[in-house]
Amino acid sequence: MITNLPWGRQVSVDTALPVLYRRLFTQMRRVLAPAGRMVVLTHDPELLDPLDLSCVEQFEISLFGQRPTILVFSSTSGKSIKGGQ
């Protein structure tokens, strides 16, 4: 699953970003396959609540003068993706 979460800049949001991120993350986690990964682009990584997921990669990029972060989350209880599991 890949998502570019709203940053609250170009696209306005009706809810505070921490609340929106929590709601979105809860629903994305709900539909994520047991061995799935979630890749998130955000300007505010500290607002993410990973629930039972582990952040396995994190790196900052340069995007149109901004410095957002890409985070890759993996299920701590799911089987490894390697080997076709």
Q: So what's the pLDDT on residue 1?
A: 92
Domain ranges for the chain, please list them: 2-78
| Furthest-apart CA atoms within the chain: distance in Å | 43
Q: Which among 29, 37, 26, 40 is positioned nearest to 68, based on CA atoms? A: 40
Q: So what's the pLDDT on residue 32?
A: 92
Q: So what's the pLDDT on residue 71?
A: 94
CATH number listed for the domain at residues 2-78? 3.40.50.150
**Tokens 């709601």 belong to residue:** 23
What is the rounded distance in angstroms from the CA atom of residue 14 to the CA atom of residue 20?
9
- Predicted TM-score (pTM) of the model is 0.75
Token pair recorded at residue 19:
């609340």
> For 27-38, how does the pLDDT look when each residue is reduced to its tens digit (9 = 90+)?
999 999 988 999
**Rounded average pLDDT over 62-66:** 86
